Amino acid sequence: MEITHLGSGSRGNSVLLSTDESKVLVDCGFSLKRMESRLDMIGVKSSEIDAIVVTHHHSDHSGSAARASKKWASTLMSNAETARRMEWGNHQNFTEFSDLERIEAGGDLSLLPIPVPHDDADNVAIIARSSEGKRASIVTDLGEATDELKKHLSACSHISIEANYEYSRLVGGPYPDSLKRRITGRGGHLSNTQTGQILNEVMHEGLESVVLCHLSENNNRPHLAESEVLMRICDSFTGDLSISKQSGPEFTHWLGQSEPERITGLS
């Protein structure tokens, strides 16, 4: 399985999971034009996308999912609450999934949606399993990791997880107090420290790669996220730590190999 982040942040999120038989997008939060140009950058035709799995209704995750699914003839998938919020019930390509029930996304790829607390959304983390039994997780937008989620992360070879804000930057910054409380609360986002603590808890020998995503442009910086997380996991982690930025795809991770391949030829 290959894992390629097409970009991540409050202005859009999307990750491509690719196997011999399947190509699945987890979230489709950029404009349709931008989704197609980013797929083009990595040599994937939009018509090759089999399914678009949407984690929750916020527009930085759901943005162009319905239009893309119609134009590309891809299956559009979400849980019931996200579908209700998005009014996808009558969409021709829509398939509903239930939390904690396995989704067969092709002969050699299955996905398990795990409910996670975040804002007023019915958000899910996605645990993807290849035919060899290796697992990758995509976990963006959560206020707090549940025991259920941590149990699954402990068995993943790859973890993509948000590191949204640096606590002191958020608290000392210009946001109103009510918004600061929402971001730091159980329903908000993870700070660099919380992400480092979760990774430390789920650390195991088989963890090959970690991608930090959904960094706030106002309240975080890549070097702050990287150093805070590394400080908490460096005693036991020998794999690759990368950061997905808002601007576009920069690397691809393969399950079974820690070092990512850099994507070249970007404008």
Binding site for Zn ion (CB under 5 A): 58, 60, 141
d(CA 259, CA 239): 8
Which is closer to Zn ion, CB of 4 or CB of 164?
Answer: 164
CA dist., res. 130 & res. 116, Å (int)? 22
Cβ atoms 221, 173 nearer than 8 A: no
Q: How far is the CB of 61 from Zn ion (least distance, A)?
A: 6
Minimum CB separation of residue 145 from Zn ion in Å reads 15
CB nearer to Zn ion: give 166 or 208.
166
Number of residues that make up the chain: 267
- CB 259 to Zn ion: min, Å: 28
Shortest distance in whole angstroms from residue 123 CB to Zn ion: 6
Give dist(CA 180, CA 227) in Å, integer: 23
Burial class from Cβ neighbours inside 10 Å (0-12, 13-18, 19+) for residue 146 reads middle
Choice between 70 and 245, CB closer to Zn ion: 245
Least separation in angstroms between residue 83's CB and Zn ion is: 16
Summary count for the chain: helices (H), strands (E): 9, 15
Angle between helices 222-233 and 192-202 (to 10 degrees): 30
Pick between residue 7 and residue 239 the one whose CB is nearest to Zn ion: 7
Measured distance CA(267)–CA(250) in Å, rounded: 11
Which residue number, 141 or 228, has a Cβ lying nearer to Zn ion? 141
- Cβ 126 to Zn ion shortest distance, Å: 14
d(CA 123, CA 114): 8
DSSP β-ladder status, 121-130 and 135-139: antiparallel
Nearer to Zn ion, 58 or 152 (CB): 58
Residue with the CB atom nearest Zn ion in the bound state: 58
Residue 60 or 208 with smaller CB distance to Zn ion = 60
Does residue 21 contact residue 72 with C-beta atoms inside 8 Å? no
Q: How far is the CB of 28 from Zn ion (least distance, A)?
A: 13
